[in-house]
Amino acid sequence: MWPKWVERGMRSKETMAYVMAAGDGLVKERMGLVQELREAGIRTDFLAKNKPKLPAQFAAGERDEVPFAIILGGDELKAGLVTVKEQRWQLVDGKKSKVESAEKGTQVKRAELVQWLKDTQTYKEWSNGKWL
């Protein structure tokens, strides 16, 4: 028997953003960004490994249906940028699936990330952490 939240299309966790590293592990950078986002009221998580593979990080975020994947890369960070990929799910015949997108993400200035996230329609729709 499925819990009622599944029947209603609700998420099991309220995480809004998942911070990932492309290439080098960037552990300090990921931890710093996670802390900054949490302090701004954005529920955030990351895969606590030194050098996680990008597919494993996406899989971890997708399990929790996290709407924002924030990808850190060495060259981008040097330029003061991060890549944000918005992710969506749909409920069809009582089963959830990720809506696949060709979108590779949006580059956002690192210093403006918190406000950029909060200004998106996705954040406004998902900020209660419960609905698709």
What predicted TM-score, i.e. pTM, was given to this entire model?
0.82
- Domains of the chain are 4-122 (3.40.50.800)
- Give the three-class secondary structure for 21: strand
| Contacts for 79 with CB less than 8 Å, ≥ 6 apart | none
Closest C-alpha to 76, from 31, 109, 27: 109
Sequence-separated (6 or more) residues with CB below 8 Å from residue 12 = 5, 6, 64, 65
What does the pLDDT look like over 47-70, one tens digit per residue?
999 999 999 999 998 888 899 999
Which tens digits make up the pLDDT trace of 64-123? 889 999 999 989 999 999 999 998 777 778 777 777 766 789 999 999 999 999 999 888
